[in-house]
């Protein structure tokens, strides 16, 4: 496709920046609008409150970002973000079971969210034809029959104006107002699927010292039925660890030193408590609540205007504990690139239909796992019940069998589809592990799990 026409992207965060990268191949001008003042260095900002929380970039996400911006990981690594073998360099606890470590090709980057955004912003701003403009707030859309023709915006001086574009993309995140903007123009609103998890995150940075985590780069333990607490430690730039403590279903991690140490000490991974107890904090903790995973079903709408797309968190946002949002945003950007290379006709229908298949896998991982908790409202199909029971036994067997840990991590990192866990060679190993169940299985944890599968 030759470069012609103009595109406007609403939101200059991860989703918006990745979309702008792809659009710059096809549109002569790409304008990215954000209501925040965009910093010229790595810094958290108001419009992205989750930027203060620990962010993990999954292995598939790192690959996708390198595909869109060749050399990005190497640049981030040069700026201090450590490369981490997710199977070998992390103390992993799933359902209280310690996964056996082994070298793998699952390499992640440990970095703060502001550092990643800063690196992407610099790369996008340097693209020919791309301009970032802030602070400007998009107030709505302009349209003619059947087509979006641009946006209505308000600049920081309070002046409102209309801006024409051949394509407008909503990358404004979870608070996207597209459903009401469409309704104002007489279009139907998308069906919305929501799964409430009432999650609270508390993240704090600590100075990293060589003896912490026995020299490894991270530690992680998940929540499970009977225990709604989870924790992650991840090495990042500037010689620090980010520690995220989280509680589901209304459980809130405390933010005072003593309370945080006690919460961290109650987790299955003792390494997390050790860091919180002994490492030097690098600033105050930040708290954030995440009520529900939300998926907007634009692919099911009969009528949708031409010249308009919705991407990333505005399309679907996931319980962040699974670390999927940025990776899915990158996969959607790669999808958009492929679709644009085939032509711009009927783009919205083609994009939403194919994006739904990209989202299906991560959505089933996040929602399916959350449905282990009896308090989470949602339909538990026999398949969901079976998979949750099976994956628990996989975790039990992965204490001794690194092949199972590797298979699980490849699915979690969106490298392999969830169905790969049901490959015959994996099933055989899970069954073998179930027969010789290791003695480390916590009796109370397993009992709680069984009650959660009812
Ligand atoms: C607590 C928490 C932890 C998370 N951890 C992870 C993780 O470990 N790994 C991971 O991959 N993902 C994680 N995520 C998800 C991740 O943050 C998002 O998926 C990612 O930021 C992509 O979002 P986005 O770009 O669509 O929207 P956002 O990042 O929310 O950005 C939206 C942008 O749009 C701008 N904007 C909004 N409205 C307007 C408007 N009307 N006009 C102009 N500008 C506007 C905002 O200022 C902002 O810059 C986490 C999320 C949360 C809440």
CA distance linking residue 138 with residue 135, whole number of Å: 10
CA pair distance 210, 228, nearest whole angstrom: 30
User: For 54-113, how does the pLDDT look when each residue is reduced to its tens digit (9 = 90+)?
Assistant: 999 999 999 999 999 999 999 999 999 999 999 999 999 999 999 999 999 999 999 999
Q: Is 298 in the pocket of ligand 1 (CB under 6 A)?
A: no
Looking at residue 438, its pLDDT comes to 52
Separation CA 161–CA 266 (nearest Å):
54
User: How far lies 259's CA from each of 285, 372, 426, in Å?
Assistant: 12, 27, 41
Q: Is 312 in the pocket of ligand 1 (CB under 6 A)?
A: yes
Determine if the peptide bond prior to 358 is cis (ω within 30°): no
What is the side-by-side strand order in the sheet with 147-155?
Answer: 136-144, 147-155, 160-164
Residue 49 Cα: closest atom of ligand 1: 53
In this prediction, residues 133-141 reach a mean pLDDT of 97
Ligand 1 atom 15, closest CA: 325
**Mind listing the pLDDT tens digit for each residue in 176-216?**
999 999 999 999 999 999 999 999 999 999 999 999 999 99
pLDDT score recorded for residue 444: 34
Q: What is the pTM of this model?
A: 0.95
Name the residue with the closest Cα to ligand 1, atom 47.
47
Length of the chain: 454
Say yes or no to pLDDT of 442 above 70.
no
For 309, which DSSP code?
E
Structure tokens at 397: 């067997």
Average pLDDT, the chain: 94
Q: What confidence score (pLDDT) does residue 379 get?
A: 93
Q: Tell which atom from ligand 1 comes closest to the C-alpha of 177.
A: 41
User: Is 33 a pocket residue for ligand 1 (Cβ < 6 Å)?
Assistant: yes
Q: Are strands 29-33 and 6-10 parallel, antiparallel or unpaired?
A: parallel
Q: Residue 453's pLDDT band (boundaries 50, 70, 90)?
A: very low
Ligand 1 pocket member 360 (CB < 6 A): no
The protein residue whose alpha carbon is closest to atom 39 in ligand 1 is: 172
Q: What's the pLDDT at 2?
A: 55
The finding on whether 445 has its CB within 6 A of some atom of ligand 1 is no
Residue 432's pLDDT is 93
- 447 CA distance to ligand 1 middle (Å): 37
Mean pLDDT in residue range 394-420: 97
**Residue with CA closest to ligand 1 atom 4:** 320
Answer whether residue 446 shows pLDDT above 90: no
Contact 378, 371 (CB under 8 A): yes
> Using one digit for the tens of pLDDT, what is the confidence trace for 334-351?
999 999 999 989 999 999
Measuring from atom 11 of ligand 1, which residue has the nearest CA? 326
- Measure 12 CA to ligand 1 centroid, in angstroms: 9
């Amino acid at each position: 496709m030759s470069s012609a026409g103009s595109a406007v992207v609403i939101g200059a965060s991860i989703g918006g920046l990745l979309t702008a990268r792809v659009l710059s191949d096809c549109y002569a001008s790409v304008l990215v609008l954000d209501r925040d003042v965009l910093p010229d260095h790595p810094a958290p900002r108001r419009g992205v409150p989750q930027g203060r929380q620990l962010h993990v970039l999954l292995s598939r996400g790192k690959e996708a970002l390198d595909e869109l911006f060749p050399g990005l990981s190497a640049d981030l690594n040069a700026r201090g973000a450590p490369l981490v073998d997710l199977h070998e360099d992390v103390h992993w606890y799933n359902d209280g079971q310690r996964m056996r470590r082994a070298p793998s090709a699952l390499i992640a980057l440990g970095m703060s969210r502001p550092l990643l955004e800063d690196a992407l912003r610099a790369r996008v701003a340097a693209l020919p034809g791309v301009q970032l403009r802030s602070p400007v707030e998009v107030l709505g859309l302009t349209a003619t029959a059947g087509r979006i023709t641009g946006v209505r915006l308000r600049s920081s001086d309070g002046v409102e104006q209309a801006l024409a574009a051949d394509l407008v993309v909503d990358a404004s995140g979870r608070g996207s107002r597209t459903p009401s903007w469409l309704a104002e123009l007489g279009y139907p609103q998308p069906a919305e699927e929501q799964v409430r998890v009432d999650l609270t995150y508390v993240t704090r940075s600590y100075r990293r010292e060589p003896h912490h985590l026995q020299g490894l780069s991270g530690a992680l333990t998940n929540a499970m039925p009977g225990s709604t607490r989870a924790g992650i430690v991840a090495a990042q730039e500037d010689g620090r660890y980010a520690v995220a403590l989280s509680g589901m279903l209304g459980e809130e991690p405390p933010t005072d030193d003593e309370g945080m140490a006690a919460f961290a000490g109650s987790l299955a991974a003792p390494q997390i408590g050790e860091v919180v107890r002994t490492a030097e904090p690098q600033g105050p903790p930040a708290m954030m609540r995440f009520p529900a995973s939300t998926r907007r079903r634009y692919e099911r709408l009969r009528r949708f205007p031409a010249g308009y797309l919705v991407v990333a968190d505005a399309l679907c946002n996931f319980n962040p504990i699974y670390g999927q949002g940025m990776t899915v945003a990158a996969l959607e950007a790669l999808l958009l690139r492929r679709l644009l290379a085939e032509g711009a006709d009927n783009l919205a229908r083609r994009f939403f239909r194919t994006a739904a298949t990209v989202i299906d896998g991560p959505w089933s991982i996040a929602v399916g796992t959350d449905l282990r908790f009896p308090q989470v409202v949602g339909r538990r199909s026999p398949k969901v019940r079976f998979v949750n029971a099976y994956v628990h036994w996989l975790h039990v067997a992965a204490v001794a069998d690194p092949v199972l840990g590797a298979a699980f991590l490849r699915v979690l990192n969106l490298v392999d589809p969830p169905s790969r866990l049901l490959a015959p060679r994996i099933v055989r190993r899970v069954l073998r592990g179930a027969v010789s169940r290791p003695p480390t299985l916590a009796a109370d944890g397993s009992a709680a799990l069984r009650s959660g599968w009812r």
